[in-house]
Each structure stands twice: as C-alpha cells, then as structure tokens.
Structure 1
Amino acid sequence: MGSNSDFVIENGVLTKYTGPGGEVAIPAGVTEIGERAFEGCAALTEVVRPQTVRRIGPWAFYQCVHLTRIVCHEKSRSFRTEGPLVLSKRGAAVKCCAPGMTGVCEIPEGVHKIDAYAFAGCFQLTGLRLPEGVRSLEEEALAACTGLKELTLPESVAFLGPNVFADCGLPRLNIRNANLFLDGSVFGPQGAGVRCLVAEKLSFKSLPASVKPAAVCGFTERREEAPDSYDPAEQAAYEAYIKNQRRRLFRPALEHLPLLRYLMEKHLISKDELPNLLEEAVRENMVEASALLLEYQNRAFGAETPETMLKRDMRALETGSLPVGELRKIWSYRKREDGTWMITSYKGWDQIVQVPAKIGRSVVTAIGENAFGTAWETESRLYEEYRRTRERLVQVELPETIQVIHSQAFDGCFSLERLIVPGSVTEIGKWAFDDCPKLTIYTTAGSYAEQYAKEHNIRFEAE
C-alpha cells in the first residue's frame, strides 16, 4: 500500500507521489491532493484516501492510465465513491473520475454539477451520459478526453466553463438548451475541442466565430438526417455563412462528408480549386472524400480528355513553363515592388524541383523567406505535410532570373544535396541554408554564391 516516504507532503498538501504504484493509501492528515501530484504514475491501480482529504487539485491523477478506483474514507464529510467516480457527499457533484475508466460512463441521477477537471485526461472514455438535471460543467471538466465519440448536453445544462472541451476533438456535440450561452473559450484554442456541433435551438449569429465551422458541420449532418430540423431563418444564416466562408471550410469538409456533399451540391467548389482539394484527400488517404470529389469532377466539369491533356503538355513544352493555373498548385508567390515575382512557398511533393523562370508574363527574381524552409509554426496538418516534404528535398534548381535568396529560404532542408544557383544571384540573406548538412551549392566561378559559400563554410562547386 506504500510507505510515507513515497509522498512529498507540505503543510497538509500532498504535492508529489514518488512510489512504485499499485494500490496506494494516502497518509492520514493529508487535507489536499495537489495539482498533478500523481501525474504519470502509470502503475497506479487504486488510491485510498483518508478521512481528512477535503480537496483534489487539477489534473491530480493525469496519465495514471491504470487507475480505476479512488476509494474515499467511509467517514469522509466531503466525498463518497461510486464506481470510478468520486462524488460530493450528497451526490450533487462529480468531483473526479479515475482516469483508467474505459467505455461509457453513466452519471448518476441527482448530480447537478461536473466539477472543474473532473474528467480531465480521461482519454480512454468513449462516452458520457448526463442525466436531465445536470446544470453545469465547470472549467476543463472534459479537457483532453480524446476518446469521446459523441456527447449530448441535456436541456438542463445552463453553464459551460472555460476550456470544458479543450483538446477533445469531439466528433459530435449535441446541445439541447436554447438559452445556453457559449463563450469562445469553452471549446479551447481555435474552437478545436469540437469538430461537429449540433445546436438547432441556438442562434447561429450568437455562436463564437471559432466554433462556427463545427456548427456548419452539424448543420449539414442534421440536414441529411432531418431536413426540416432548423428554423428557416437559421437555415438561411447557415447557408449564407457557408457560401461566404467556403474556402475556409474545405479542410473540415474533407473530414466531414455531409459538409463536402453540401459544397458539391451547391457547386461551391470551383474547377480550379478542385485539384488541390482532391490531391490533399488522396495524400491523406481519405478514401470516401476522394471518391466523392472524383465523382463531382466528372459530373460537374467532365473528365479531362487525352486530347486536352496533350494540348496542355504541349503548351508547357513550347513556353518552357506551366500555365498559371498549374503553377498555383505548386507555388505561392507575390509581386515585388519592381513588378517581378517572389516565390513565397513551395507546395509541391517532388524531391527534385525546378523553380519557374516566369509566371505569366513576369519573371521570377526572388526566393522568399522560408519559401523552402521548415522554420515556422502552424497547427495545420497540410502545412505539416509541406514541412515533411521539404525535409526530403534532394535537389533544387534556380533559374537564371533569380537575383535574391532571402533569409531562411532553405532552412531545415535536411536532405538537400544539390542547389543550383545561377550567377545572376547578387544577394543571399542570413541563415538561408541553416540546417542543410548535406548541401553542396553548384554555381558559376567568381559568382556571389561562390563567395557566400566560402564565407559560410558551405560545400560548393563552381564552373
């Protein structure tokens, strides 16, 4: 059951457990289990609390993945045990849940409140059934419950605290109360705590901006289940938002097929936008989304004939560059003050790359900061794919039109072996080739690129 030497206790607060786990009895006299006191103790299976404990701190049992029972002293005036749950003495509040709980958890009748952090980190939980009568879910009550599949908040729920669903990625949340106020913080940063929100009784305009994409997913899902479930005015508000924000909704649509079907039904994906969307679906092995997009392509725009493909390829050979529409799939770029182009981002997937000399009628004269680099932060899965692709680049050839390579342009291209730099380059920024351990620069003898390579101890070959 453990010895007192396994505990760090300060003024009655158990701040850290250092023992081996198993069944553990907290020493008598402890009045509070401190924040993250048992964090990471995967071998912990049961905790027996003394009568003196009056408070459990946030995330006290975080990552205790085998802890299935927290036993309260039978004479405790504050708590009682019911299965994997610790309830307030009279059963009105859920104080915490053993994080080793798996499957679906039934909240007992008579519970009015889910306390702050009560289920935080219970990632093995797949379902939570709340009875009518639950009135509030407090701060981070369900944070990081990544295994939850669906949750319905009964009509009695009138308050949701900050970050209740933070880091959940909840596939579907159903809200029944028409008067529930949703603050933007409820769902965590960028509304990422929920992926599909069904809230037919709430005004769409009242929803936080960060959660509106999830609400749109819920709207399109319910539209397929029960077409008349939304008030006509609310339906018009949803449809107007989808039309105005359609590009922002492309990524959620790949993960939520009812939204994708709606976009296709209303012809809100253009012919030029379709290839990038289809490429992303194929790359991430989204089989159903890929099939829907291919069907939409053939139905709405017609399959590309061999003759059309041949003409396109012939134009590319004759002009020495791809059409602008094709280039946009591979490159991001913007105008410089002199009217020429600067490449700002490589979006392709090839390991051997040739930068275009022209885009439309204007020449490309600069490689922008981080255009090929990996030194930026984003939560987008698509950009994470770009990062991995750039790390696998082997060769990049710059055209004779390039004059400037900006700072960090190739930073973090760990596999890049050959960079062909023309003699036209007259400026290279700081750290342009940081973390490129395999790099050799191929350039013209006497060029600025040769000088730069010498000064920065970069391998080069000059002819």
Structure 2
Amino acid sequence: MGFKITDGVLMSYIQEEGMTSVVIPDGVKRIAFGAFVGCANITSVVMPDSVTSIGDIAFGDCIDLETITLSQNITEIPELLFEGCSGLKSVMIPERVTNIGNHAFDRCTSLTSVTIPESVRVIGNYVFIGCKSLKSVAIPRQLKGIGHGIFDYCDELKFVKYHDIMIPMDKIRPSERGKVFAMIATHDFTTKMKSDSRYTAISSIFKSHPEDAEIIAYIKKNFTKMFRYLIDENDIETIEAIIYSEKFLTKRNIDKMIDYAIEKERHEIYVMLLNYKAEKLGFKDIADQFKL
C-alpha cells in the first residue's frame, strides 16, 4: 500500500487505484496532520491499537469513507479529524478519549449516531455542525466543558440525552444550548437565557427527575409564567406531568390557569385542569364545574 512511514509516524497515504479498504500497519504510533486528506475513494479504515495520537484533519474530505475502527489507545479526537467526510455513517469513540476537538465531525452529513464515552471531559466548538442526518447523541455526565454551536444545522437531531434527561434540541435556541447543558450540570437555574429555552430545559429536567427538590422549588417560584408558556406551546406531555404530580396547582392559582387555557383555545388543557380541580381541589358549587 502507499504508506509513507517515518519513525513510527504515518506521514501520508498515497491512494492506490482500486483500493477502497485501508488497514494501517501495526507499529504505527502516530498519524500525521492531513495524512489521508482528500483520499476520496476509501470506504473503510482499520487503525491498530499501536496508534496513540492523530494529527488534525487526518481524514478530512475522505468523502467516501463510511466506517473507521479507531485505536483504543488514543486520548483525543483532534480538530477537523473527519471534516467533510460526507459518507461516514457511525463512529465508536474509544473509552480513553477525554477531548473532542473543534469541528471534529464538521459536515459529516451521513452520520446518524455517535457514541461518546463517559471518559470525555471536553467537547470543542462546532463539533457536529452540519451533521444533518444525526439522530441521537448521548453526552457524558462528567463533561466539564462544551463548546459553541456543537449541534448547529443538525436538522434531524430532535433529542440529546444528558444526565439521563432527554433535551428537545429543536425547541432550544442554538445560541443557548451550551447554557442549557451547563444549567443541567450545575443546577444553576439563574443562568441568563431566553424564557423559551429556559422553560423547555426546566420541563425536561422535571419529567426525568420529578422528585428533584431544586427543580420543584424553581417551578413553584415561577409557576405562573412557566405554566402559561406551556399552555402557549400546547405542551400536553409536560402539563400532564405537572398537573398529576400534585405539587403545583392550588385553589388559589388553578382558576387563572383555566381562564388562560380558555383564552388560548387550548381545549384539551382546559379539560385536564377542570378534571383536576374536580378530583383534587373540589368545586365551590355545581356551576363552578362548568366554568367557561
């Protein structure tokens, strides 16, 4: 094969005609910057565990690359490693990796899933930008740093799992996703962000951890604004969870929420509130049951 190897460093690969599968020789310790860049016809790569480091953009613009087996002994996914690898479908990141560099999977448009191990502590900027087929990602609990715009233009990505919380990415402003991850990790609900992103995140946390004392206290303190937002969004699932937790609605606030549901023409929510009032809070008189 067309490998140029110097002192254990794979400096470059010269693509051979008709060769689509590449097995990097055992004994290679490092893959240099841009070693495979632009090798358009390669479809698969197998990397030996002797490799301990990879240079930036090593596989950049390998547009036909579909699968790669990474060394289990690397500790970093470098910047731009798979930038422009539009054929790459899935990647298993090794358990020793602690850092994923900026733009590592930039425009991997066929990538549908990525497994990020719990060892990862830092995810750089724009790591998955333009991965328009990406459908699912689970982020490690012990993450210490997360960059800007990591999921920008990921059109198919609806949810990201973090701390066992399913975060609806399509409902959170791209510019505030990093803040949401930080808020979940630190439980600092004072983080400044737009109310729609905040209430979406709070709702997600509550549905996953309904007995969390801090989240309950936050919802109680901000109940009117948050519940009205949920009515505006017609978020039946979250409203149902809040109602039947029996922690927030009282005789003092339920009529205001019923009136707001009527005003916004949210009939299903109105009925849910009315039923809860009848079952848990009681009515003052029979006419109150049919309040319109």
The normalised TM-score by structure 2 is: 0.54
Matched letter for residue 188 of structure 2? F
Matched letter for residue 243 of structure 1? T
**In the aligned structure 2, how far is the partner of 1:137 from the partner of 1:190?**
16
**In the aligned structure 2, how far is the partner of 1:251 from the partner of 1:206?**
23
How far is the alpha carbon of 1:24 from its aligned partner?
Answer: 11
Write out per-residue CA displacement over residues 409-448 of structure 1, whole angstroms, 9 at most, x where no aligned residue.
xxxxxxxxxxxxxxxxxxxxxxxxxxxxxxxxxxxxxxxx
**In the aligned structure 1, how far is the partner of 2:131 from the partner of 2:173?**
13
Matches within 5 A, 1:277-296: 278=266, 292-293=268-269, 295-296=271-272
Q: 1:106 to 1:31 in 2, by over 3 A?
A: closer
**1:247 counterpart (228, 238, 242):** 228
**1:91 counterpart (42, 57, 74):** 74
**1:130 counterpart (116, 124, 144):** 116
**In the aligned structure 2, how far is the partner of 1:197 from the partner of 1:170?**
15
Report what 2:11 is aligned to. none
Structure with the greater alpha carbon radius of gyration? 1
Q: Provide the secondary structure at the position in 2 that maps to 1:173.
A: strand
How far is the alpha carbon of 1:152 from its aligned partner?
Answer: 3.0
Matches within 5 A, 1:269-284: 269-274=257-262, 276=264, 278=266
How far is the alpha carbon of 1:261 from its aligned partner?
Answer: 1.5
Matches within 5 A, 1:251-330: 254=235, 257-262=236-241, 264-265=243-244, 266=249, 267=254, 269-274=257-262, 276=264, 278=266, 292-293=268-269, 295-296=271-272, 299=275
Residue 207 (structure 1) aligned with residue 188 (structure 2): no
How far is the alpha carbon of 1:119 from its aligned partner?
Answer: 2.3
Matches within 5 A, 1:49-448: 55-56=56-57, 61=61, 64=63, 67-69=65-67, 82-83=68-69, 91-95=74-78, 96-97=81-82, 98-102=85-89, 105-146=91-132, 147-155=134-142, 157-168=143-154, 169-175=157-163, 189-191=174-176, 202-210=186-194, 211-223=197-209, 227-228=210-211, 230=212, 232-250=213-231, 254=235, 257-262=236-241, 264-265=243-244, 266=249, 267=254, 269-274=257-262, 276=264, 278=266, 292-293=268-269, 295-296=271-272, 299=275
Matched letter for residue 77 of structure 2? V
Write out per-residue CA displacement over residues 246-274 of structure 1, whole angstroms, 9 at most, x where no aligned residue.
333445553xx442314555347433444
Matched letter for residue 218 of structure 2? A
**In the aligned structure 2, how far is the partner of 1:56 from the partner of 1:294?**
55
**In the aligned structure 2, how far is the partner of 1:122 from the partner of 1:274?**
46
CA RMSD of aligned residues (A): 4.6
Contact 1:119 1:142 in 2 (8 A): yes
Contact 2:243 2:273 in 1 (8 A): no
Contact 1:253 1:259 in 2 (8 A): no
How far is the alpha carbon of 1:113 from its aligned partner?
Answer: 0.9
How far is the alpha carbon of 1:136 from its aligned partner?
Answer: 0.6
Identity in percent: 13
Report what 1:386 is aligned to. none
Q: Report which of the two has the higher share of strand.
A: 1
Matched letter for residue 176 of structure 2? G
**In the aligned structure 1, how far is the partner of 2:56 from the partner of 2:227?**
48
Contact 2:86 2:107 in 1 (8 A): yes
Q: 1:130 to 1:258 in 2, by over 3 A?
A: same
Gaps of 5+ in 1: 1-21, 39-43, 70-81, 177-186, 279-289, 303-324, 326-463
Contact 2:34 2:60 in 1 (8 A): no
**In the aligned structure 2, how far is the partner of 1:234 from the partner of 1:113?**
30
The normalised TM-score by structure 1 is: 0.37
How far is the alpha carbon of 1:206 from its aligned partner?
Answer: 4.5
Contact 2:33 2:57 in 1 (8 A): no
Matched letter for residue 187 of structure 2? S
